[in-house]
Every structure is written in structure tokens, then in C-alpha cells.
């Protein structure tokens, strides 16, 4: 389960990857969705405009559906990554401005990616952890990245 930072939307996912997207304030289901695999990581961006889902090695970013107006297809896929890591993704962290995100995996690496295209930006892989990564995060001013293993 994950609640959006603005408190308007709740996403619940069962062990098989079936999700309910709920308008939290009104307790109304906005959409049903099947991710088709067990979800290993799920989080909203700090501005609540996007949410990221990891299912094994697969990683997808969706635009958050509107809680005020009905649409035929409430979930819009924004970005999709096939084999971002060589093992299952275990966590996702966003920068405070929602421009960048981190993913970490059982392969002992942390990847830094940008949400939108940025000229001359290349995704970066941080390696060197010798044990399983528990979490990774940006510093308060987004100038540093920390990983805890």
C-alpha cells in the first residue's frame, strides 16, 4: 500500500500484482489494474504526479490518474524499462523535486535515472556495496546519494 504525498490517492496491491487505485478522500475506487507479476517496489513522486512500480526486473512509471474527473483509461504509462537491473528491484526513491529517481536491487547496485529527458544526462550506476542494499535516498538538498547496506 502506498498513499500519495498530497493524501488524495491510495494504491493497494496484492501478492499477485492486482492493484486498486483509490480516491482516498472519498473512499472510491478509481481503477483496477493487473501488473501481471508480484510488485517488488511501489512509490509516488513527491509532487504526486507520477508513481513508479517495479515488478521483478521490470520498472514502469505511470502518470497519476485524476481524482476529480473520470477517464476511460485512468492509467497512462509514462516510461518503461525492461531489464534495468540484473536481479529483482527492491526499492525506489525520488529526489525532492521529482526530477530524478533511484532504484536498487539484489544485484547490489543503485541506478540514478531522470524522469524527463535532460540534455547530456546519462543514467548512472553506483556499485561497490558488498551486502544487500536496505535503502537508498537523496540528501535533503538532492546534492548527494546515500545507500545503506
| Confidence at residue 73, expressed as pLDDT on a 0 to 100 scale | 79
| Per-residue pLDDT tens digits for 98-149 | 999 999 999 999 999 999 999 999 999 999 999 999 999 999 999 999 999 9
CA neighbor of 9 nearest in space, from 59, 50, 60 = 50
Within a 10 A sphere around the Cβ of 67, how many other Cβ atoms? 19
Q: What is the mean predicted confidence (pLDDT) over 35-59? A: 96
| Confidence at residue 133, expressed as pLDDT on a 0 to 100 scale | 97
Q: What is the mean predicted confidence (pLDDT) over 18-27? A: 94
Q: Which domains does the chain have, with CATH numbers?
A: 2-148 (2.130.10.10)
Asked if residue 44 lies in contact with residue 53, where contact means CB atoms within 8 angstroms, the answer is no
C-alpha 22 chain-centroid distance: 17
Q: Each residue of 95-107: b (16+ CB within 10 Å) or e?
A: beebbbbbbbbeb
pLDDT category of residue 39 using cuts at 50, 70 and 90: very high
| Confidence at residue 70, expressed as pLDDT on a 0 to 100 scale | 76
Say if residue 50's pLDDT is above 80.
Answer: yes
| Confidence at residue 8, expressed as pLDDT on a 0 to 100 scale | 94
| Per-residue pLDDT tens digits for 60-107 | 999 999 887 777 778 899 999 988 899 999 999 999 999 999 999 999
Amino acid at each position: 500500500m502506498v498513499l500519495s504525498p498530497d493524501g488524495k490517492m491510495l494504491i493497494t496491491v496484492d501478492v499477485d500484482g492486482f492493484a486498486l487505485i483509490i480516491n482516498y478522500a472519498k473512499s472510491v475506487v478509481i481503477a483496477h489494474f493487473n501488473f501481471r507479476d508480484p510488485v517488488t517496489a511501489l512509490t509516488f513522486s513527491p509532487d504526486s504526479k507520477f508513481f513508479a512500480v517495479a515488478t521483478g526486473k521490470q520498472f514502469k512509471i505511470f502518470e497519476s490518474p485524476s481524482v476529480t474527473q473520470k477517464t476511460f483509461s485512468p492509467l497512462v504509462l509514462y516510461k518503461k524499462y525492461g531489464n534495468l537491473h540484473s536481479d529483482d528491484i527492491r526499492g525506489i526513491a525520488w529526489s525532492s523535486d521529482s526530477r530524478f529517481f533511484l532504484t536498487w536491487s539484489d544485484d547490489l547496485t543503485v541506478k540514478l535515472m531522470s524522469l524527463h529527458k535532460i540534455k547530456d544526462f546519462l543514467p548512472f550506476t553506483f556499485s561497490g556495496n558488498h551486502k544487500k542494499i536496505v535503502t537508498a535516498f537523496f540528501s535533503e538538498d538532492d546534492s548527494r546519494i546515500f545507500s545503506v547496506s
